């Protein structure tokens, strides 16, 4: 459990006090509640994405395997490799999206802490974008291997990832913009 998670737990349990609190100057309950809410919303969104991705992969695989069984299509090593790559893409995505960078809190005042929290939120959104694109690449390659139409799926991957990279501007994400503007307001209130 990192320092922020421990502080969240202490805050929720009402145990946060000046002696146990590593954020000595952070006394604004609204700031902590806002940061905790954002973490919870982000975690819920990641869980929904993982459940949706897993359901899509498994429903697609079951449907394909049923179709193969009905059509007497033999399972080849290339198809098995495709399944492994698709499952790996899901595990890779889950693992990397749950990795969080810790915010160093020792000897920081509230303004410095909030400024660093802002930077970490933007960095985390950029990291999620990068890992989501890697997930799409691995998933599409796995589907290409499974269907034995790899060249078509590679072309589709290049198009989809290129569009996603161009269109998805992390710093204009409405949820993040709203949260960052609230943090900016809190920072200006502390000055």
Taking alpha carbons only, the member of 153, 45, 26 closest to residue 10 is 26
Taking alpha carbons only, the member of 190, 6, 38 closest to residue 120 is 38
Burial class (CB in 10 A: 0-12, 13-18, 19+), 122: middle
User: For residue 155, what pLDDT band results from cuts at 50, 70 and 90?
Assistant: very high
What is the predicted pLDDT for the residue at 120? Answer: 81
Is the pTM value of this prediction over 0.85?
A: no
pLDDT at residue 122 is higher than 80: yes
Over the stretch 32-55, which tens digit does the pLDDT of each residue have? 777 777 777 877 887 888 888 888
Vertex 157: Cα angle to 154 and 158 (nearest 5): 90
User: For residue 63, what pLDDT band results from cuts at 50, 70 and 90?
Assistant: confident
What is the predicted pLDDT for the residue at 158? Answer: 93
pLDDT at residue 170 is higher than 70: yes
pLDDT at residue 182 is higher than 70: yes
What is the predicted pLDDT for the residue at 123? Answer: 83
Burial class (CB in 10 A: 0-12, 13-18, 19+), 150: middle
Non-local CB neighbours of 173 within 8 Å, separated by 6+ positions: 125
**pLDDT, mean over the chain:** 77
Over the stretch 66-119, which tens digit does the pLDDT of each residue have? 877 888 888 888 888 988 998 898 888 888 877 766 655 555 566 777 777 778
Maximum average pLDDT range among 24-28, 121-125, 132-136? 132-136
């Amino acid at each position: 459990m990192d320092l922020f998670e421990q502080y969240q737990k202490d805050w929720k349990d009402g145990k946060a006090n000046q002696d146990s609190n590593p954020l000595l100057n952070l006394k604004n309950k609204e700031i902590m509640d806002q940061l905790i809410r954002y973490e919870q919303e982000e975690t819920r969104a990641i869980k929904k994405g993982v459940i949706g991705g897993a359901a899509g992969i498994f429903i697609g695989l079951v449907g394909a395997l049923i179709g193969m069984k009905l059509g007497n299509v033999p399972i080849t090593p290339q198809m098995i490799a495709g399944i492994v790559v698709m499952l790996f893409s899901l595990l890779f995505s889950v693992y990397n999206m749950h990795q969080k960078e810790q915010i160093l809190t020792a000897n920081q005042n509230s303004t410095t802490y909030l400024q660093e929290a802002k930077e970490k939120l933007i960095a985390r959104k950029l990291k999620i974008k990068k890992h989501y694109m890697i997930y799409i690449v691995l998933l599409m390659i796995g589907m290409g291997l499974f269907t034995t139409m790899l060249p078509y799926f590679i072309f589709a991957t290049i198009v989809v990832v290129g569009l996603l990279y161009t269109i998805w501007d992390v710093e204009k994400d409405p949820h993040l913009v709203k949260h960052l503007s609230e943090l900016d307001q809190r920072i200006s209130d502390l000055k």
